[in-house]
Amino acid sequence: MTYSDPYFIERLMMEFPFLQQMREYIGSFGIRLEDFAEPGMERLVEKAVSRVEQALVHGVRASYGTGAKPSEEEILSYPLSIALVAMLEDSYATRRFATVEAERYSRLFEKIDPGNVRDVLYFVAREVLRMDVKLSNPPYEFRIHFTDYLRYSVKLNEPRFKLVNRIMDRGYVPLRRPEMLTIIKNALEEYIEERLRSIGRIPTPDFLKPHVERLRNALETRRWRETEQARSKIPLESWPPCMQALRQRLLAGEHVSHFGNFTLAAYLINIGWETEQILQLYAQRGDFDERIARYQIEHIAGKRGGGTRYTTPSCRTIQTHGLCIEEGRLCGGIKNPLQYRRKPGGKEKR
Ligand code: SF4
């Protein structure tokens, strides 16, 4: 199957409503904004509002990307979701919606038949995102021009993504499939955000005012929660040395044992981090699987299973796993990393 195959285009259209072909398909229905006020359109409106609300409040949910094809209802309500985000006139909402949509699409890419993923990624990179990209041979199936690579890898913290650590072949950077997926996810985020900004201001019609109000309230709740959390969060320099080391290894793409991952996640939950923030930290890893990571974090936080919230393992347990730093010399005899406090001058105390 190649991207000139009409069936290939149709399948892509159904799953990725931002494609030009999909916009034309939706356009062929001749739907205007005021048509959503007609009797019988309530379900489409609710779909569109829920999609935005879900993105603003919850981010990418575990239920996303189940492999089920979107219904026609979902497809036709998509342009209204975009219009609703524009009506909010809020740059935080724009950014968040773009991030969540990009994450959702990247999960859909993972669901595509492995035999076709290479063609799909190539199509989206070249035809939608206008990247200078070439197909190559495994394990480096893609070669992307270094200017595109730099543009979309700049936000990635893992050292392996830094250009100095990459091979460069006549101006092109060879990439493995998961690396290409990460680059495409970043590019999609930028693409969707630009599209939303380019729409500009849309006056809210009367029939949508209560819905836009509902979304504004959801946005305010989200913002308030984030501010509260930022206030209560312990700054990185005040984390115990073992937790700083685990975070460092995670960001460096080094192997972290199951116990190490559990310990860091339990620590973050207990100092007040939310699932979404912990996911963002773990998302820096190349082998990140959002569905599994979310399940594990929610399990530790007591939101799944028996509802038990796990505390951070004791220093003694962490020591037996070889993850304590300098045998606790820096920590003043504490029993649990949650007891660690660092004085403003830099000295640790209990
Ligand atoms: S003493 Fe406890 S808090 Fe300090 S590094 Fe060791 S395990 Fe971590």
- Host domain of residue 300: 236-349
- What is the pLDDT, as a whole number, of residue 316? 93
Whether residues 211 and 266 fall in one domain: no
Q: Does 231 map to a domain?
A: no
| 100 in contact with ligand 1, CB cutoff 6 A | no
Mean pLDDT, residues 153-170 taken together: 83
Q: At residue 65, does pLDDT exceed 50?
A: no
Residue 284 one-letter amino acid: Q
Is the same domain home to 261 and 302? yes
The pLDDT > 70 percentage for the chain reads 79
**Are residues 174 and 286 located together in one domain of the fold?**
no
Ligand 1 centroid – CA 276 distance (Å):
26
Q: 312 C-alpha to center of ligand 1: Å? A: 11
The predicted pLDDT at position 345 comes to: 46
- Please write the tens of the pLDDT for every residue from 307-326: 678 889 999 999 999 999 99
Using the predicted structure, report yes or no on whether residue 117 has a pLDDT greater than 60: yes
Task: Please tell me whether residues 207 and 273 are part of one structural domain.
Answer: no
80 in the same domain as 210? yes
Is 18 within a domain? yes
In a domain, 230, yes or no: no
Confidence at 22, pLDDT banded by 50, 70, 90: low
Asked if residue 108 belongs to a domain, the reply is yes
Last residue of a domain, one of 199, 224, 249: 224
Q: Which of 174, 189, 224 is the last residue of a domain?
A: 224
Mean confidence (pLDDT) of the chain: 81
Predicted local distance difference test score (pLDDT) of residue 12? 56
| Residues 316, 187 share a domain | no
Confidence class for position 19, pLDDT limits 50, 70, 90: low
172, 110: one domain: yes
**Residue 250 lies inside a defined structural domain of this protein:** yes
What burial letters (b/e) apply to 39-56, b meaning 16+ CB within 10 Å? eebeebbebbbebbbbbb
Q: What is the mean pLDDT of residues 99-103?
A: 82
Which numbered atom of ligand 1 lies nearest the CA of 240?
Answer: 3
Q: Is residue 292 part of a domain?
A: yes
CA atoms of 239 and 230, how far apart (whole Å): 15
pLDDT digits (tens, 9 = 90+) for 212-269: 999 999 888 877 766 666 656 678 888 999 999 999 888 777 778 889 999 999 999 9
With a 6 Å cutoff on the Cβ, whether 260 touches ligand 1 is no
Ligand 1 mutation target, pool 239, 263, 325, 348, most atoms within 8 A of CB = 325
Instruction: Identify whether 38 is part of a domain.
Output: yes
How many domains are contained in the chain?
A: 2
Which residue's alpha carbon is at the smallest distance from atom 1 of ligand 1?
328
Tell whether 185 and 206 lie within a shared domain: yes
Whether the per-residue pLDDT at 344 is higher than 50: the answer is no
Give the domain CATH number at 48: 1.20.930
Contact call for residues 57 and 218 (beta carbons, < 8 A) = yes
- Phi, psi values for residue 142, rounded to 5°: -130, 150
Q: Is residue 9 predicted with pLDDT exceeding 70?
A: no
Residue 202, pLDDT score: 83
Pair 55, 171 in one domain: yes
Is 80 in the same domain as 58? yes
Residue 133 forms part of a structural domain = yes
Q: Which of 14-18, 53-57, 281-285, 312-316 has the lowest mean pLDDT?
A: 14-18
Name the amino acid, one letter, at 194. E
Q: Which of 247, 327, 334, 336 to mutate to test the pocket of ligand 1 (most atoms within 8 A of CB)?
A: 334
Residue among 292, 334, 293 at smallest CA distance from 313: 334
Q: What residue type is assigned to position 74 of the chain?
A: E
Q: Is the pLDDT of residue 285 over 70?
A: no
Q: Averaging pLDDT over each range in 59-68, 184-193, 208-217, which range is the top one?
A: 208-217
Q: Which residue has the higher pLDDT, 239 or 6?
A: 239
| Interval 106-110 mean pLDDT | 78
* Most confident region among 92-96, 289-293, 344-348 by mean pLDDT: 92-96
pLDDT bin (cut points 50, 70, 90) of residue 15 is low
Q: What is the Å distance from ligand 1's center to 158 Cα?
A: 25
Measured from the CB, is residue 337 less than 6 Å from ligand 1?
yes
Which token pair is 132?
A: 């200078």
| pLDDT score recorded for residue 276 | 83
pTM, 2 dp: 0.61
Compute the chain's Rg from CA coordinates.
23
Least confident among 94-103, 139-148, 206-215: 94-103
The answer to whether residue 284 scores a pLDDT higher than 60 is yes
Write out the E strands in the chain: 133-135, 142-145, 172-175, 341-342, 348-349
Same domain, residue pair 246 and 150: no
Q: How far apart are CA 76 and CA 27, in angstroms?
A: 10
Spatial neighbors of 254 by CB under 8 A, at least 6 apart, are none
Of 195, 224, 253, the domain-final residue: 224
